Homo-oligomer: A and B are copies of this chain.
């Protein structure tokens, strides 16, 4: 975990992130690369404060399990990266953003997933620490007010990659069968039309229904 990450490796990872698609080719992301121990320690303090509050949401065995989970590697990881989204980049009218304002945020998340996969290809594990107060984090990293923090990532070489998520292994939550998440033509049709006996294909407009899940 503590093995240093070389500059050329980091450059490949950030270049992969920067080559994510973005709505209107807006490229709204920035990357704050943290290597210094003092900065990591300041962020770790933020985590500890917020996590103490988060842990209080659980009781009994669930609380014990929660406290046993490894939820961050801020100080141990050789590199931390804060990923931001500059919401005003590209000016007032960004192509493709007139109806869905948050497409800049969505694009930045796509860049984060590219970063994640590029790191994995280098043998580097990435942890996303979301148990942080982003307002205070922005002060620590000197991030200007209009810029939104999306993610705080810890990067480090790992001895092995697990075959399933840690939270699944720990029994915190189970994976949902993918079939339950695929709908055909309209929400709620989880069996393809060609396998539904005598059921007419679902076409055209539908009313909103139910409560979701």
Please list the residues of chain A having a beta carbon within 8 angstroms of any beta carbon in chain B. 7, 14-15, 18, 20-21, 23-27, 29-36, 38-39, 42, 50, 53-54, 57-58, 66, 69, 71, 86, 88-90, 93, 95-100, 102-103, 105-106, 109-110, 112-114, 116-117, 128, 130-134, 138-147, 150-151, 165, 167-168, 172-173, 175-176, 178, 181-188, 192-193, 201-213
Contacts and interface: CB of A to CB of B under 8 A. Distances in A.
Contacts of A39: 185-186, 203-204
B25 A172 contact: yes
A7 B179 CA distance: 13
29 contacts: A7-B192, A14-B178, A14-B181, A24-B173, A25-B175, A29-B181, A30-B187, A32-B184, A32-B186, A35-B185, A36-B201, A38-B203, A54-B99, A57-B93, A86-B213, A96-B131, A99-B132, A109-B109, A110-B112, A110-B116, A113-B113, A139-B208, A141-B206, A142-B206, A142-B207, A142-B208, A144-B209, A144-B211, A146-B212
A110 B98 CA distance: 22
Nearest to A206: B142
Contact of A205 (B88, B140, B212): B140
Nearest to A151: B106
A145 B14 CA distance: 37
B88 A144 contact: no
A53 B93 CA distance: 12
A134 B88 contact: no
Among A66, A131, A183, A188, max chain B CB count under 10 A is at: A183
A69 B42 CA distance: 47
A192 B33 CA distance: 9
A150 B106 contact: yes
